[in-house]
Amino acid sequence: MATIVNTTEEEPMLAVVRFTAELAWADAGPEVADPEVTRLCLEAQEHILAGRWLDMASLMLASADLLLTSPSRAPDKGTFLFVFLFQFKICLVTKAGSEDQALQITDIICAKLTQQPDDKPALRLKVLFSLYNLLPSPYGKAFVYKKALELATAGKAAEYIIPSFKNIDSFVSEWGIGNLEQRELYLAITRILKDHKGMTKDYFKFLNKYLATFKGSDDDSARIGDAKEEAVAAIIEFVKSSNLFQCDLLNMSAGAQLEKDEKYQLVYELLKIFLTKRLDSYLEFQTANSALLKDYGLVHEECITKMRLMSLLDLSSHCSGEIPYSAITESLQINDDEVEQWIVKAIAFKILDCKVDQLNQTVIVSRHTERIFGMPQWQGLRTKLGVWRGNIASAINTIQANKVTEQGTQAMHGLMIR
């Protein structure tokens, strides 16, 4: 049942202080409680009159500690959290004299809400999100969201914050945070998603966002080594996933550092095989490093399936629009009667658009997914767009020329009739 705080005609903020104090001191009995409530209210009134909102925050925290640690008042904790938020809503929206002061009060609220993450974490997160929506400052919003991530992790309440991850790109743009802050944000998100079932694709996405923050500059040289574990995790996640066929880790500094790393060199080589080579290279690697694959939880049969699809993409990128059945059987190491089965699989995964010419035993490719989309692919796309633009301009010119000719013919025909 909801609790109604009757503010009567008293200053609303003071009424909330009184209500909170009465809850906090209820166990002490009227002889002790009444003087303490009166003292707190008088002190609050002085702070209100003097505009000392940070002192008001400290005063509220004193009551908060008593209430939140009182076993007999456990049912009232949820009510208090909302009253607590209401109190500071007033401070932040109508009372704080400056943005800095509002941020200081925000810091105090967050510190209190994150002290006991195991106690009603969903409710605490709800309070933090309400606070987030109140703040006009982009920096304040970023700060509160970071605290919400910490609370969700410590309180094992990830399901309440995961839905917000789909808006992270717009959040980052709104907050205007720098590269290091983005790095911390993406790392926190990956740690939440890592053990969350059904979030494999999102986990891989944010791992890549995190790794992409290492630009290879001198400022990153001292920190990039910290990203090795995440780079390896991203590689294994990519190889293991049955529906990921494009990866830019080879072009990232955080991934490239593994190439000469004694511990992770073979993991990097495995990624290179999946992104630049064909099935025969994988089979050679597996023969020499089967124990490594098992250690990382990779299933050989599943790797073969994915590598066959990757080999088909490699064939598509090197053909001139047509792939003979013989090239497919050789690269995928399959029988002639299995070619169409693998074509259908590629189409189902939306990595290939093509037509099968059974009469001539060829596959006519109109589009394929690039395994790596780096600078050469961008240049190729630019060239294609240039050709398409030229073709469209030529078509428009032809239409206009035909239109002029047609109008001239009609005019001549009119003169002849006259």
How confident is the model over 362-376, as pLDDT tens digits?
A: 999 999 999 986 555
Residue 73: what pLDDT? 53
Q: By percentage, how much of the chain surpasses pLDDT 70?
A: 78
Query: Which residues on adjacent β-strands are paired with residue 47?
Result: none
Query: Which residues on adjacent β-strands are paired with residue 324?
Result: 362
Q: Name the residue with higher pLDDT: 196 or 341.
A: 341
Label residue 5 by pLDDT band (50, 70, 90).
Answer: very low
Q: Are strands 362-368 and 322-324 parallel, antiparallel or unpaired?
A: antiparallel
- Over residues 391-414, mean pLDDT: 70
For residue 257, pLDDT beyond 50: yes
Residue 202: what pLDDT? 93
Residue 4: what pLDDT? 43
Which pTM does this prediction carry?
A: 0.75
Lowest mean pLDDT across 70-84, 184-198, 228-242: 70-84
Query: Which residues on adjacent β-strands are paired with residue 352?
Result: 368
Mean pLDDT over all residues of the chain? Answer: 83
Residue 379: what pLDDT? 59
Triad 416, 417, 418: Cα angle to 5°: 90
- Over residues 175-199, mean pLDDT: 92
Lowest mean pLDDT across 89-98, 127-136, 256-265, 293-302: 89-98
For residue 299, pLDDT beyond 90: yes
pLDDT in tens, 200-230: 899 999 999 999 999 876 566 678 888 999 9
